[in-house]
């Protein structure tokens, strides 16, 4: 067994007849305290309620076990983990750098990049880089950022207004809600379908109880 497999095995709670202790402190499906009961009685109550007996605190004396639908619990935990990962992915910000005296051709190219990023549902950090005497003319950078925000207004909105950051000036653009929500909904639907298929596969593979 690999180290990773061992970690997964250790983190997996014991359920039903895998709980090999004489008695447990039983918690009902709604969180109510049932008390200390023999493990055989706890298993009987689980079977009568069509639920699983899950050991939630193995180090307690006696161990704490709860009556729950373990398949549903794992499904909901997986969905929460996927949502957390999506939120982390959504925090990734693309970056575009401009000079305050950029020519029209370069500006058009950079604007195209910003439009593509926003259209894909990404945030964009736009940085104006000042050099030498340009640092005494911050209004040039401010006007350029305002112009860019107006040019891409159909695709994005200003989430962080232009502000000085050392020798640079920074602005953050976010995709319009319709596009970002559509992408988030598409991801959510895809993850929901994948999780549902995984749950169905697990249920079909599970041995029938006598």
CA 201 to chain CA centroid, nearest Å: 24
pLDDT of residue 5: 43
Q: Which of 95, 101, 129 is nearest to 114 (CA)?
A: 95
pLDDT of residue 4: 44
Q: Which of 61, 76, 80, 74 is nearest to 8 (CA)?
A: 74
pLDDT of residue 176: 87
Q: Could you give all domains of the chain from N- to C-terminal order, each with its CATH number?
A: 3-75 (3.10.20.80), 89-178 (3.30.110.10)
The pLDDT averaged over each successive group of 10 residues in the chain (210 residues) is 43 89 96 95 96 94 95 89 72 88 95 94 94 90 96 94 92 79 65 70 53
The DSSP call for residue 176 is -
pLDDT of residue 161: 94
pLDDT of residue 73: 87
- Measure Cα distances from 83 to 10, 31, 180, 187 in Å: 24, 25, 15, 10
């Amino acid at each position: 067994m690999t180290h990773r497999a061992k970690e997964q095995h250790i983190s997996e709670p014991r359920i039903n007849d895998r709980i090999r202790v004489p008695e447990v402190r039983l918690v009902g499906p709604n969180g109510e305290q049932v008390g200390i009961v023999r493990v055989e009685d706890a298993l009987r109550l689980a079977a009568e309620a069509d639920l699983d007996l899950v050991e939630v605190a193995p180090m307690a004396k006696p161990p704490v076990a709860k009556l729950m639908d373990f398949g549903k619990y794992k499904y909901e935990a997986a969905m929460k983990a996927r949502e957390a990962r999506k939120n982390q992915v959504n925090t990734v910000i693309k970056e575009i750098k401009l000079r305050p005296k950029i020519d029209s051709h370069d500006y058009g190219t950079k604007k195209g990049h910003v439009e593509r990023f926003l259209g894909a549902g990404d945030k964009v950090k736009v940085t104006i880089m000042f050099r030498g005497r340009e640092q005494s003319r911050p209004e040039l950078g401010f006007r350029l950022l305002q112009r860019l925000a107006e040019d891409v207004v159909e695709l994005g909105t200003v989430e962080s207004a232009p502000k000085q950051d050392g020798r640079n000036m920074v602005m953050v653009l976010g995709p319009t809600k319709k596009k970002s929500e559509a992408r988030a909904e598409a991801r959510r639907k895809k993850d929901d379908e994948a999780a549902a298929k995984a749950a169905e596969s697990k249920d079909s593979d599970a041995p029938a109880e006598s």
